[in-house]
Chains A and B, each alone.
Chain A
Amino acid sequence: MEGPLLSVEGLRVQFRTYAGLVRAVNGVTFDLHQGEVFGLVGETGCGKTVTGLSILRLVRPPGEIVAGKIAFDGLNILSLSEAEMQEIRGGRIAMIFQDPAASLNPVFTAGEQISMVIRQHRSVAAGQVHQRTLEMLEAVGLPDPPQMARAYPHELSGGMQQRVMIAMALSSDADLLIADEPTTALDVTIQAQILELLAQLRQERGLSILLITHNLGVVAQTCDRVAVLYVGHVVEKGPTREIFKAMKHPYTQGLLAAIPRPGSYGQTLPAIGGSVPSGLDLLPGCPFQARCSRAMEVCQKEPPALIPVGRDHHVACHLYREGAR
């Protein structure tokens, strides 16, 4: 196999706010291979969305990418011109967002919005734009494409809106889809349908997907590999199956323990004590130290590096250093 389709290395993003410097992403590193579904999991504010936006260079001031490398199919994303970036956005990498109702422009019909993207990237000849629009609507499983094309966003249900967003995102044959919480605003049955659609598009089109979510159930269901983020750090990453079977990091263990299971009715769920530290005042050492039940002295001094603990399985925790304990 060749190199990864997308490779993010040591990405750091900071926001200069009036309250001070917020370090949202602190050295995130991961690779995504062609045709793979890669999950970025974490709590609210862990930097997963900012990481997704950084890949398209859509972080807005006062946010700023201060360090790191992002390589996509051999292109150095961070050194491209704005014009080249516009070709990539929607042309090769597309992004869909959490709230499909807000992601569609309310004054244009679904068909018009898809056509605009197709024209933007000149993916087909001018005479075929309408045809292509209908094909895309059909490809995302919407019934009666001509009718759908004429509908305004507010006339569609949430699931339909997200399907239109996906149709739009893929209308120029993007290689990589960044899906930022694509199912969070939808109810559970629709969520399953959308995930199924993504899986099917991946099969049919060889699409690679970067799935950003806080929902471990979604991860287990769809992702090949996953990285767990905690205040802008990758604390653990590896194949999904491996992570769910043999999670190493105390944070990952805490997250998984906090999922309600059949049979746990009536019992108190073990929550992780404390709350997420803000990116404003990070302590030196391990970002999880304050909430970690197994913190050691070294955790307060030295930030842990990612160390291999299995096949393609890495964890950033001093517990697994050679000679620890």
Chain B
Amino acid sequence: MAVAERLLGDWLRQRESQLEEYRLMFRAFRRDRLGVISLLIILLFIFGAIFAPYLTPYPEEGAGSPNTANRFLPPSREHPFGTEYLGRDVLARVLFGGRSSLSIGFLVVIIAVGIGTPLGALAGYLGGWLDEVIMRITDMFLAFPPLLLAIAIAAALGPSFVNAMIAIALTWWPWYTRLVRAQTISLRERSFVEAARGMGVGSLTIIFRHILPNIFTPVLVQSTMDIGSAILTGAAMSFIGLGAQPPTADWGRMVSTGRVYFLHQPWYGTFPGLAIFLVTLSFNLLGDGIRDVIDPRSRRAA
């Protein structure tokens, strides 16, 4: 019993200091007005994408069924963003389009971080031939312009949402490998790693418990910003027809088709374009905000 009680006590104490940390982070973040607004915009888009069918009176049109009787209606009370060339409500299409764009952003970054981070940490900490092999592979990927490589991979795999995602993720992970490797190498020489080795800690434990937590900040900041860029790249891919296929709504594809009608029906291409712009910008600003907040040194100063 005594042991259980003490374990519980330990756990509660740790919880408490953790909560204290979160409180401090939250307080610092609240002062960053741009960061807060960005976060709200992102949450708004996520909310819109998840609950799209309930937020629009035209869920079938959002999902893809045409309504040719209503082609090219300008923005009005019934259709705040107007309608497009198949008579579908543009607002509904933008809400539904957030699903593919946001998921491509998050999934690409999750895959890229998942592959890139451990490889970079291993290469940086262990060095030697493993480092050579990993870094030469990243060099191969980095030798091509990223968008071109993604287009080539997606074209080879065939146009689809999943293939576009795989293609973008494959061009993205080497950047994380390089970022993490560079950080690892600079940390590897720090005394606390030497001290940990002197206390009998093994290599893998040092990499995952001591080095990676110290790299958490740059990786989190980078990945937040990259979600925006990945959405942009995803939009570019579907702009040229390699992303989500019709009738699935997709911002990039909407901009692509809307371009043709831009002079006379500008609302068709403008609103999905604005969505891409807002989401990408918000992720960038949020990344900046996170960088300022997460570092315990800058936070406690307040």
Contacts and interface: CB of A to CB of B under 8 A. Distances in A.
Nearest to A133: B10
A98 B194 CA distance: 12
A37 interface: no
Given A99-B191, A107-B296, A127-B10, 9 more contacts: A97-B195, A98-B191, A103-B194, A105-B196, A106-B296, A116-B201, A116-B209, A130-B13, A152-B296
A154 B9 CA distance: 26
B144 interface: no
Contacts of A157: none
B195 A127 contact: no
Nearest to B215: A107
B17 interface: yes
Contacts of B3: 125-127
Contact of B200 (A87, A103, A106, A109): A87
Contacts of B191: 97-99, 102-103
A103 B4 CA distance: 33
Interface string B272-302: 0000000000000000000000001100100
Interface stretch (A1-9, A88-96, A137-145, A258-266): A88-96
A77 to B, nearest CB: 13
B198 A95 contact: yes
Interface residues of B, number: 30
Closest 4 CB pairs of A and B: A90-B199, A89-B200, A90-B200, A127-B3
Contact of A126 (B7, B9, B195): B7
Interface of A: 56, 58, 85-91, 94-99, 102-109, 116-117, 120-121, 125-131, 150, 152, 154-155, 165, 168-169, 178
A184 to B, nearest CB: 13
B216 to A, nearest CB: 8
Contacts of B10: 127, 129-130
Contacts of A99: 191
Given A105-B192, A150-B17, A117 B199 contact: yes
Given A94-B198, A107-B214, A165-B195, A127 B190 contact: no
B210 interface: yes
12 contacts: A89-B199, A98-B191, A99-B191, A102-B190, A103-B191, A103-B192, A120-B205, A130-B6, A154-B296, A155-B300, A165-B195, A168-B195
B6 to A, nearest CB: 4
Nearest to B13: A130
Contacts of B205: 120
Contacts of A96: 195
A98 B195 CA distance: 11
Contacts of A91: 200
Nearest to B197: A58
B6 A168 contact: no
A245 B210 CA distance: 47
A154 to B, nearest CB: 6
B199 A154 contact: no
Contacts of A58: 194, 197-198
Given A105-B214, A150-B17, A155-B300, A89 B6 contact: no
